[in-house]
């Protein structure tokens, strides 16, 4: 029964991660991208903030801790999500999700360069397979769009945020970290909206429904289920299932938006998925031996 529950919850949370790209794409006709991202995470951050305060979860007590929290939010929410939302103006939800979820591969590269971490040979094989997958995915029907750069930057910001969380995360309550990094990142996105775009939001039933889905289902509930899985099972084993997210990104782009399933998209996506699986699986073994 526990195995069935784990599988169901894992599929559910990775589905929410991957399908959010198509949902964002559906919301862009009603809002400028940075403003939509800002509203999503400010709303999610406020709701989660109320929850962690009412639950009396331990909050940071020093200024440096709040600065670290702000730094994580700047990368994880403002950097990653801002780039994702901007990428979806010009590239498909499938392409954006595949580019973004190459971040575990970049964690290995940046961890080696900046934190002098050591990784197994098979993890580097995973990185190589992932890079080959990106070339296949983006190369066969390649047409340069600015969204490709934003999609790649989202993976860079996510990898850097992951490494910062590994360095600083033990000093924070998980739920407090999640709530305030979303709120701080959302506020930065709001400032960015007024600085770098002409913000607009068309208020109607459809736009409100999409915003609520992104804030509650694709943010709060997604984080809650994911953190529950990490807390109640082997984190390395659980993280290996992140390869399902880009798969759901491609499938939801096809199902919800009618995006074509090019053979190169499928083949390249499989390379990336297997590369991510190798990186996460061998990372768990490395942790256990250290």
Instruction: Specify the number of domains making up the chain.
Output: 1
Does residue 285 or residue 161 have the better pLDDT?
161
Residue in 79, 21, 34 with CA at minimum distance from that of residue 200? 34
- Residue 119 — very low, low, confident or very high, per pLDDT cuts 50/70/90? confident
The pLDDT of residue 33: 95
Average pLDDT rounded to a whole number, residues 156-162: 89
Domain that holds residue 207: 2-289
Instruction: Write the pLDDT tens digit of every residue in 16-74.
Output: 999 999 999 999 999 999 999 999 999 999 999 999 999 999 999 999 999 999 999 99
pLDDT range class, residue 236, cuts 50, 70, 90: low
Closest Cα to residue 33, out of 193, 273, 159?
193
Q: Are 92 and 137 in contact (CB under 8 A)?
A: no
Task: For residue 31, list its beta bridge partners.
Answer: 201
The pLDDT of 180-209, averaged and rounded, is 96
């Amino acid at each position: 029964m526990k195995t069935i529950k784990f599988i169901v919850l894992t599929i559910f949370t990775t589905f929410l991660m991957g399908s959010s790209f198509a949902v964002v794409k559906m919301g862009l006709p009603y809002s400028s991208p940075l403003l939509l991202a800002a509203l999503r995470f400010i709303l999610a951050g406020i709701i989660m903030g109320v929850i962690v305060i009412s639950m009396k979860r331990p909050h940071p007590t020093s200024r440096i801790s709040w600065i670290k929290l702000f730094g994580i939010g700047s990368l994880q929410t403002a950097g990653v999500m801002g780039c994702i939302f901007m990428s979806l103006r010009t590239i498909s939800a499938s392409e954006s999700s595949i580019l973004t979820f190459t971040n575990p591969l970049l964690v290995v590269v940046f961890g080696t360069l900046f934190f002098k971490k050591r990784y197994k040979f098979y993890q580097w094989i995973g990185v190589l397979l992932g890079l080959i997958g990106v070339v296949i995915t983006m190369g066969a029907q390649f047409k340069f769009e600015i969204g490709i750069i934003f999609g790649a930057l989202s993976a860079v910001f996510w990898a850097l945020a992951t490494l910062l969380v590994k360095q600083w995360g033990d000093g924070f309550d998980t739920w407090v970290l999640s709530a305030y990094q979303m709120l701080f990142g959302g506020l930065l996105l709001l400032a960015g909206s007024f600085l770098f775009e002409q913000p607009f939001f068309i208020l109607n039933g459809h736009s409100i429904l999409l915003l609520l889905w992104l804030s509650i289902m694709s943010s709060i509930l997604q984080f809650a289920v994911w953190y529950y899985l990490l807390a109640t099972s082997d984190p390395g084993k659980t993280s290996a299932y992140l390869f399902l997210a880009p798969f759901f990104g491609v499938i939801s782009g096809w199902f919800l938006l009618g995006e074509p399933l090019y053979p190169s998209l499928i083949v390249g996506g499989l390379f990336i998925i297997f590369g991510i699986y190798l990186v996460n699986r061998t990372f768990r073994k490395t942790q256990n031996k250290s």
